[in-house]
């Protein structure tokens, strides 16, 4: 089996796995929203911050999974395509996915993630900083300015200058793109492993807080039952009088 065959086989195995993972994340996010709404009604004094944390963590996980899925599809088809224009199509889409993932993660999700870790999970900070450093290194080594230019000219947009569009497309280097995509996939896997550990830790925390909330709800139920009991007793006393 050739290297290309191995890559195709790996992609075929991973794509269903990450698709299933994305489906589960969607269900988790919906369940978390419903749980938060229910607790807000039944126990207004409960601290709902942990639910917001989990929503944010699963949101980052979703971004990483989407990027992994799309790049695996790109890698698979780069091994299959025969024509230069087909190859260019998947290369430019690979660059587009990388650019958009980095933009979304860096501008909105990374700051939120850092805030959560700093506030509640400081033991995870060294690993988080290591990933941050790896991303910075990736930006330097893989010329994000060129990737953004490809995104703006031929991937996310069709430049009005046809010659620029055409020349940029045909100059795309398959080997360079493969190296860049491979390096970024490694970052995504690191991020997903990190998020899995962090989310598991957060889930332990939410279970502990859920037990406290359940106790509060039970106490409330007991008070209500006691109130009804007293009310029934008063009604009987009034009848006797």
DSSP per-residue string spanning 142-170? TTHHHHHHHIIIIISS--S-HHHHHHHHH
Question: What global pTM score does this model have?
Answer: 0.81
Structural domain includes residue 229 = no
Please tell me the predicted confidence (pLDDT) of residue 230.
Answer: 52
178-207 pLDDT tens trace: 899 999 999 999 999 999 899 888 877 766
The token pair that represents 119 in the structure block: 């506030």
Q: Is the predicted pLDDT of residue 235 greater than 50, yes or no?
A: no
Q: Is residue 58 in a domain?
A: yes
- Predicted local distance difference test score (pLDDT) of residue 199: 87
Model pLDDT for residues 33-52, shown as the tens digit of each residue: 888 887 777 777 777 777 78
pLDDT, averaged across the chain: 84
Tell me, yes or no, whether 18 lies in a domain. Answer: yes
Q: How many structural domains comprise the chain?
A: 1
Tokens of 138: 């990736």
Q: Looking at the domain assignment, is residue 51 inside a domain?
A: yes
150 Cβ contact list (under 8 Å, min separation 6): 92, 95, 96, 168, 172
pLDDT band at 233 (very low <50, low <70, confident <90, very high): low
Confirm whether 214 is domain-assigned.
no
> Which residues, 6+ apart, have CB-to-CB distance to 93 below 8 Å?
70, 74, 155
**Domain span at residue 112?**
3-208
Q: Does the residue 168 lie in any domain? A: yes
Flag whether pLDDT at 210 surpasses 60.
no
DSSP state of 171: T
> Which are the contacts of 190, defined by CB distance < 8 A and separation ≥ 6?
131, 134
State the helix-helix crossing angle for 162-170 and 84-104, rounded to 10 degrees. 100
Inside any domain, residue 108: yes
At 209 the pLDDT is 57
| Residue 61 is assigned to a structural domain of this protein | yes
Q: What is the pLDDT of residues 121-171, one digit of tens each?
A: 999 999 999 999 999 999 999 988 899 999 999 999 999 999 999 999 999
What pLDDT digit, counting tens, does each position of 59-72 carry? Answer: 999 999 999 999 99
């Amino acid at each position: 089996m050739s290297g290309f065959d191995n890559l195709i086989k790996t992609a075929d195995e991973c794509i269903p796995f990450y698709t299933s993972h994305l489906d589960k994340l969607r269900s988790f996010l919906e369940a978390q929203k419903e749980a938060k709404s229910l607790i807000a009604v039944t126990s207004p004094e409960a601290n709902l911050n942990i639910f917001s944390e989990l929503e944010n963590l699963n949101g980052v996980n979703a971004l990483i999974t989407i990027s992994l899925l799309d790049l695996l599809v790109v890698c698979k088809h780069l091994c299959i395509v025969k024509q230069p224009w087909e190859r260019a199509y998947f290369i430019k889409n690979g660059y587009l996915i990388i650019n958009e993932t980095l933009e979304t993660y860096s501008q909105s999700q990374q700051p939120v993630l850092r805030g959560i870790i700093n506030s509640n999970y400081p033991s995870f900070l060294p690993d988080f900083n290591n990933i941050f450093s790896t991303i910075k290194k990736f930006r330097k080594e893989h010329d994000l300015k060129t990737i953004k230019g490809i995104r703006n000219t031929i991937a996310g947009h069709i430049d009005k200058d046809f010659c620029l569009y055409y020349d940029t497309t045909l100059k795309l280097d398959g080997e360079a793109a493969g190296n860049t995509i491979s390096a970024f996939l490694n970052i995504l896997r690191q991020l997903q492993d990190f998020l899995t550990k962090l989310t598991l830790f957060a889930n332990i925390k939410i279970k502990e807080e859920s037990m406290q909330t359940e106790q509060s709800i039970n106490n409330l139920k007991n008070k209500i039952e006691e109130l009804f009991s007293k009310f029934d007793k008063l009604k009987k006393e009034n009848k006797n009088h």
